Amino acid sequence: MEPFLIQESKTKPSASVFSELVKKLAPVKGSTDPFCCVAEELQLVEQNLTRSIRSAERALTDISSHLIYGGGKRIRPMVTLLAFKAFGGTRLPEIVDIATAIELIHTATLLHDDIIDGADIRRGKESAYKKFGLKATLVAGDFLFIKAFEFAGKFDETIVQWTADACTQLTEGEILQGFFNRNPAVKLENYFEIVRRKTASLFETGARIGAYLSGAKPAMVEQMGDYGLNLGIAFQIIDDVLDVVGHKELLGKPTGMDLRDGNPSLPIILALGEGQKDVSETFQCSRPTDEKIRAALAIMGQARAIDKAKMLSRGYAERAYKPLKSVPPSLYRTSLKNLLQLIIERDF
Binding residues for a second copy (CB under 8 A): 55-57, 59-60, 108-109, 112, 115-116, 134-136, 138-143, 145-147, 149-150, 152-154, 157, 160-161, 163-164, 167-168, 170-172, 174-176, 178-179
Residue type, 168: T
Residue 98 CB, nearest approach to a second copy (Å):
12
Closer residue to a second copy (CB): 200 or 343: 200
Closer residue to a second copy (CB): 246 or 262: 262
Residue 208 CB, nearest approach to a second copy (Å):
17
Beta bridge partners of 126: 121
Residue 54 CB, nearest approach to a second copy (Å):
10
The 3-state DSSP class for residue 121 equals: strand
Closer residue to a second copy (CB): 1 or 175: 175
Beta bridge partners of 125: 122
Residue 151 CB, nearest approach to a second copy (Å):
9
CA nearest neighbour of 347 among 21, 13, 14: 21
201 burial level (CB within 10 Å; 0-12, 13-18, 19+): buried
Closer residue to a second copy (CB): 18 or 180: 180
CA 132/CA 72 separation, integer angstroms: 19
Please say whether the dihedral angle defined by the alpha carbons of residues 178, 71, 203 and 24, taken in this order, is positive or negative: negative
Closer residue to a second copy (CB): 138 or 245: 138
Residue 160 CB, nearest approach to a second copy (Å):
4
Following DSSP, what letter does each residue of 228-271 receive, concatenated? HHHHHHHHHHHHHHHHHH--HHHHTS-S-HHHHHT---HHHHHH
Closer residue to a second copy (CB): 263 or 334: 263
DSSP 200: I
Residue 173 CB, nearest approach to a second copy (Å):
9
